[in-house]
Structure 1
Amino acid sequence: MLHFELVTPERLVRSDEVYMVTVPGADGDFAVLEGHAPFMSTIRDGDVLVQKTQGGAPETIAIRGGFAEVNARGLTVLAEHTG
């Protein structure tokens, strides 16, 4: 499982173990699974898609701006705003 955190300047929005997260990167959408290579990306306004299980229906979380970081601990999305 992938550890996923969604954070805004105001609060921790989500911290969960999930199967896959698709992020609206500045250069296009990218999907992150457990074991993904480390990297950082700016993100554009759009929807983060969170799949709790393989083949499961994704949950959609609208975000505006920010950064995404993938490291050995998982994926952290630092969004300017959600909703």
Structure 2
Amino acid sequence: MALHFELVTPERLVLSEEVHMVVVPGTEGEFGVLEGHAPFMSTVKDGALKVYARDGAEPRIIQVEGGFAEVSETGLTVLAEKAA
């Protein structure tokens, strides 16, 4: 099972792939998303977005600045103001 994850900025599509889990720096605290997570939306604060390709793997760290995260039936989309 895999989670479809997309990271998008106003300039470009940064990442679009199937992953195990993503940990997002939400304004109310970090939250992890796996496949099958209940739908919701959250604002994103500046911080480290952690992308786990598979269970037990070291995360890929992407620094993001502001934005929104949406979990839906199709996966997780993070709309960030900036991503590096």
- Which interval holds the TM-score relative to the shorter structure? over 0.9
Partner of 1:45: 46
Gaps of 5+ in 2: none
2:27 and 2:35 mapped to 1: Cα distance? 22
Q: Deviations over 1:14-53 (max 9, x none)?
A: 0000000000000000000000000000000001000000
Give, as a single letter, the amino acid of the residue that structure 2 aligns with 1:22: V
Identity between Structure 1 and Structure 2 (%): 63
Structure 1 segment 41-80 matched on structure 2, within 5 A: 41-80=42-81
2:83 and 2:31 mapped to 1: Cα distance? 19
Name the count of aligned residue pairs.
83
Gaps of 5+ in 1: none
Structure 1 outlier segments of 4+, above 2 Å:
none
TM (norm. structure 2) is 0.98
2:68 and 2:29 mapped to 1: Cα distance? 13
TM (norm. structure 1) is 0.99
